[in-house]
């Protein structure tokens, strides 16, 4: 039986990628802000409707550089319901993450809980737009201004997402993107940092190149965060396809909605009316009323050669690293734990077939029908 994996990268035609590789080969500039790198930044600014962007070699380094560029100190409020890179980037910069719960009826950090954290040495908030669904930016922005906190949005999932026609990458002091191969838009590995502040942009560009300035002096403790030309080539080859990618993902997303609606104990992702979504993920929640637990359903899928993902599970605070550091939440994270224990992201990618989606949904329907009747 054919295996169905949770995701599969979209690739351009080989000749299209080869066209850009040839440019790099002929120039013999393979990294260090080459032609493809510069052209890719220009095209992203235009495509994403943002002011500035800095290309980075991966999304984790993008978060680290964002923290460094804003000269953050002390502690940062964030969510336990995210990929480990969100919190690791805070630790790697020598700061401490403070975890608060997610919203009662969503996946994102609950802004109403921010003011419960009274520590004086908090310098910033890192909210995560989980699955590409935007956070409550209005409330986060208000609280950040009142408490003089900086805001870095982890927007790893958010390529192309808009609210009321505006790119959410314009939110906060900085937004970071991931261009990992599992994302809807990728450069094999890769990432980017968006900011409206030209000075911050210039500082990031310096920090991603070891801290060098134009005269050759090193004036900051930077790192090697540069995107190479092979990565930029993939990005340039994929940009013309992004609308097609999102359209196809939307069609597959809606097929899932049609097949899975009204099944007791299965809760589906709800997209706010004002959001122009990118259909990055299709998470379902296994709740009371469904005859199997999340883990039992996960095992049932694997028996049928279907490989969804428990994403995000476990919570960041449940990883051994954070327990060993004794960095666990001192605040209730009840909602986050409940979601982590009940979530499954189903297979979704542009060329998944209707038959494949039917196979995935059939497992759920058979289990639901058989167990109830």
In this predicted structure, what is the pLDDT of residue 331?
79
- Tell me what pLDDT residue 368 has: 87
CA–CA dist 112, 130 (Å, integer): 17
pLDDT (0 to 100) of residue 329: 64
What pLDDT is recorded for position 372?
Answer: 55
Q: Which of 211, 206, 125 is nearest to 171 (CA)?
A: 125
Q: What is the pTM of this model?
A: 0.96
Instruction: Based on the fold, state whether residues 187 and 256 are members of the same structural domain.
Output: no
The answer to whether residue 270 is domain-embedded is yes
Examine the domain organization and report whether 66 and 171 are in the same domain.
yes
Same domain membership, residue 138 and residue 277: no
Q: Are residues 92 and 128 in the same domain?
A: yes
3-class secondary structure, 95 = coil
Predicted local distance difference test score (pLDDT) of residue 332: 87
Q: Is 269 left (phi over 0), alpha (psi -120 to 50) or beta?
A: beta
9 within a domain of the structure (yes/no) = no
**Total of domains in the chain:** 2
User: Would you put residue 65 in left (φ > 0), alpha (ψ -120 to 50) or beta?
Assistant: alpha
Whose tokens are 């986050």? That residue is 336
- Residues 285, 215 within the same domain: no
Do 262 and 215 share a domain, yes or no? Answer: no
Contact present, 157 and 179 (Cβ < 8 Å) = no
Among 241, 271, 305, the domain-final residue is: 241
Q: Are residues 227 and 262 in the same domain?
A: no
The CATH number of the domain where 342 resides is what?
Answer: 3.90.1150.10
Residues 211, 230 within the same domain: yes
pLDDT at 78: 96
CATH number at residue 193: 3.40.640.10
81 and 228 inside one domain? yes
Per-residue pLDDT of the chain (373 residues; tens, 9 = 90+): 899 999 999 999 999 999 999 999 999 999 999 999 999 999 999 999 999 999 999 999 999 999 999 999 999 999 999 999 999 999 999 999 999 999 999 999 999 999 999 888 999 999 999 999 999 999 999 999 999 999 999 999 999 999 999 999 999 999 999 999 999 999 999 999 999 999 999 999 999 999 998 888 998 999 999 999 999 999 999 999 999 999 999 999 999 999 999 999 999 999 999 999 999 999 999 999 999 999 999 999 999 999 999 999 999 999 998 887 666 667 789 999 999 999 999 999 999 999 999 999 999 999 887 665 5
pLDDT at 39: 98
Contact 171, 137 (CB under 8 A): yes
Domain boundary among 224, 241, 258: 241
Write the DSSP string, 222-274.
--B-PPPHHHHHHHHHHGGGHHHHHHHHHHHHHHHHHHHTT-TTEEEP---TT
Where in the sequence is the domain holding 167, given as residue range(s)? 14-241
Bridge partners, 153 (sequence order) = 175
pLDDT of 118 reads 85
DSSP structural state of residue 315: -
Q: Of 178, 211, 241, which closes a domain?
A: 241
């Amino acid at each position: 039986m054919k295996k169905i994996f949770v995701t599969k990268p979209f690739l351009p035609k080989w000749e299209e990628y080869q066209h850009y590789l040839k440019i790099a080969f002929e120039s013999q500039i393979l990294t260090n802000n080459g032609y493809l790198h510069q052209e890719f930044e220009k095209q992203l600014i235009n495509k994403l409707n943002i002011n500035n962007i800095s290309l980075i070699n991966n999304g984790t380094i993008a978060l680290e550089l964002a923290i460094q560029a804003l000269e953050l100190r002390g502690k940062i409020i964030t969510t336990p319901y995210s990929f480990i890179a969100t919190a690791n980037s805070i630790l790697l910069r020598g700061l401490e993450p403070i975890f608060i719960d997610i919203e009662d009826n969503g996946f994102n950090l609950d802004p109403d809980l921010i003011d419960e954290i009274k520590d004086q040495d908090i310098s910033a908030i890192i909210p995560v737009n989980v699955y590409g669904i935007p956070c409550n930016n209005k409330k986060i922005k208000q609280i950040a201004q009142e408490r003089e906190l900086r805001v870095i949005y982890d927007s790893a999932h958010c390529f192309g997402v808009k609210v009321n026609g505006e790119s959410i990458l314009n939110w906060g002091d900085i937004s970071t993107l991931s261009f990992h191969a599992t994302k809807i838009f990728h450069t094999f590995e890769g990432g980017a940092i968006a900011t409206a502040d030209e000075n911050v942009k210039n500082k990031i560009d310096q920090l991603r190149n070891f801290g060098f300035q134009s005269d050759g002096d090193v004036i900051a403790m930077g790192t090697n965060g540069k995107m190479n030309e092979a990565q930029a080539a993939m990005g340039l080859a994929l940009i013309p396809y992004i609308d097609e990618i999102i359209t196809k993902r939307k069609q597959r997303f809606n097929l899932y909605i049609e097949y899975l609606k009204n099944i007791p104990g299965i809760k589906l992702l709800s997209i706010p009316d004002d959001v122009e979504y990118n259909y990055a993920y299709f998470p379902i929640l296994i709740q009371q009323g469904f005859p199997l637990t999340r883990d039992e359903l996960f095992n049932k899928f694997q028996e049928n050669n279907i490989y969804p993902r428990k994403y995000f599970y476990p919570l960041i605070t449940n990883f051994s690293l954070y327990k060993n550091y004794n960095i666990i939440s001192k605040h209730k994270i009840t909602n986050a734990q409940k979601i982590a224990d009940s979530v499954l992201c189903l297979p979704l990618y542009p060329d998944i077939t209707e038959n494949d989606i039917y196979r995935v949904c059939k497992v759920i329907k058979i289990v639901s029908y058989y167990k109830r009747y």
